[in-house]
Amino acid sequence: MHSESALMQPLGIIAGSGVLPRLLAEDCAAKGRDYRVVQFGGIELDWVDGHPVLEAAFEKPGKLFKSLKKAGVLTVTMGGAMGRPRLNPLRFDATGLRLAPVVMKALKSGDNSMLGIFAALFEAEGFAVIGVHEALPSLLAVAGIPTKRQPSDEERGDTARAVEIVAALGALDLGQGAVVAQGLCLGLESIQGTDAMLRFVAENPARLPDKNGSSGVLLKQAKPGQDMRLDMPAIGPDTFDMAARAGLAGVVVEAGKTLVLGAEETVARADELGLFLWGR
């Protein structure tokens, strides 16, 4: 954990897609904290008007490091989904050429390993890398079931089975989520992400043993040994929209190790759809 003073130093937000980097930027603006949104080429951010932006290219890390330091930014965090870029070796700057072997190794690694390598590159250049939950702790999931619907005993059993599956999956650095119904695994999260998994489940309905039994749960859980500064599991209202389309009964997350992007709105959406949210 970092000191309170460090958490008010200028912040660099390495922005991927989704709502998370916007929430970080808006929180900095509201608190009067100096910040820069780092936008890489090819990543569309439709919310950055009015925010201080540094445009960046994956092939030119040296330019990015210099721009951040010139802006007084020595602390960075990574938020939002970011695909693996296709690099053009002809565009590398001097720092990019020096780091190319490390970067190429990272791109061929699992998500957690890849992000860990990128974080180490920033740290080697003198930057402190903090987690989104450190920059904005109000996003952390809390223990309990805040929704009107509560999980049944059978749904709790499906959750226990999903915990075992995701632990095994995460040990291989493959994913952070699974869908289980009546003890059967209906979907596993891989590099395509949670949304793709839920679309697969929605488009490929399973023949469950008991038509009146559990319709299934989505579990999101950090990988064993995961660096909590990087790629924490996250859910939001859209997660419940997709879970409902997949016919699931609820969503289970790991309290204190999962980000909830808009807690009030997320619980309201779950209640509207008749699903449960369980922070365990």
How many Å is the Cα radius of gyration of the chain? 20
Q: How many CB atoms lie within 10 A of CB 166?
A: 27
Predicted structure pTM score: 0.83
The Cα–Cα gap between 166 and 144 comes to 20
Asked if 217 contacts 185 with a C-beta cutoff of 8 angstroms, the reply is: no
In CATH, the number for domain 6-137 is 3.40.50.20
Structural domain boundaries in the chain: 6-137, 140-279
β 11-15/53-56 pair status:
unpaired
- pLDDT value at residue 7: 59
pLDDT score for 50 = 95
Of the candidates 61, 64, 67, 59, the residue with the CA atom closest to the CA atom of residue 92? 59
Per-chain mean pLDDT for the chain: 89
User: What are the angstrom distances between the C-alpha of 238 and each of 140, 163, 266?
Assistant: 17, 22, 8
Fold matches, 6-137 and 140-279: no
Q: Which of 37-41, 90-94, 225-229 has the lowest mean pLDDT?
A: 225-229
* Contact indicator for 57, 40 with CB cutoff of 8 Å: yes
Average pLDDT estimate for 76-82: 87
For residue 272, give the amino acid letter.
E
Q: How confident is the model at residue 181 (pLDDT cuts 50, 70, 90)?
A: very high
Q: What is the DSSP letter of 138?
A: G
Superfamily of domain 140-279: LpxI C-terminal catalytic domain (3.40.140.80)
pLDDT tens for residues 217-274? Answer: 999 998 887 778 877 889 999 999 999 999 999 999 999 999 999 999 999 999 999 9
State the Cα torsion 28-31-34-39 to the nearest 10°.
10
**SS3 assignment, position 5:** coil
How distant, in Å, are the alpha carbons of 231, 256, 263 from that of 140? 13, 6, 9
| 113 pLDDT more than 80 | no
Percent of the chain exceeding pLDDT 70 equals: 94
* Buried residues in 193-224 as b, exposed as e (16+ CB within 10 A): bbeebbbebbeeebebeeeeebbbbbbbbbbe
| Alpha helix ranges (H) inside the chain | 20-31, 61-70, 94-107, 111-124, 132-135, 153-171, 194-203, 237-245, 263-273
